[in-house]
Amino acid sequence: MNVQIVNQTPISLAHMKLELENVKTRDTELSFRSTKTDEFLQSLSLDVVKSDELVKKIETLEIPRLKLEHIIKIADLMPTTVEELKVIFQAYTITVSQDNLKKIQALVDEYVKK
């Protein structure tokens, strides 16, 4: 069997939870890894609609060098302070200005309080 990756698109944990629910309805039994992933995702309170809204709002900021994978990570982790947001960006080779960090954090704060 020769598997070829055609496209890679990052998805949020909320979407992963939804996709895993679809797999559970099709299959009778999940694999060990799928079961562990499902247990983890069930422990989180994830809302696909809110996650998608936040991703779209951050995208509209048009921050230079900020990619979809960065935005999705922000939506997954929902940092509560600018310092926590900076920690997320430390995992990547990206620099975001203090002003843009504050703009992102203001949007995240709207969803953290909901």
Note the pLDDT of residue 29. 80
User: Hey, where are the domains in the chain?
Assistant: 13-42, 48-112
Q: How far apart are CA 24 and CA 21, in angstroms?
A: 5
Superfamily of domain 48-112: HRDC domain (1.10.150.80)
Cα 41–chain centre separation: 12
Cα–Cα distances in angstroms (integers) from residue 25 to residues 18, 29, 41, 44, 114, in the given order = 11, 9, 16, 20, 30
Note the pLDDT of residue 24. 83
Q: How far apart are CA 18 and CA 89, in angstroms?
A: 26
Note the pLDDT of residue 23. 84
Q: Give CA torsion, residues 15, 109, 63, 59, to 10 deg.
A: 40
Is 78 within 8 Å of 108 (Cβ atoms)? yes
Cα angle vertex 110, ends 76, 101, to 5°?
Answer: 70
Local confidence pLDDT in tens for the 114 residues of the chain: 788 888 888 999 999 998 888 888 886 688 888 889 888 988 887 788 999 999 999 999 999 999 999 999 999 999 999 999 999 999 899 999 999 999 999 999 998 875
Note the pLDDT of residue 90. 92
Q: How far apart are CA 21 and CA 23, in angstroms?
A: 5
Note the pLDDT of residue 5. 84
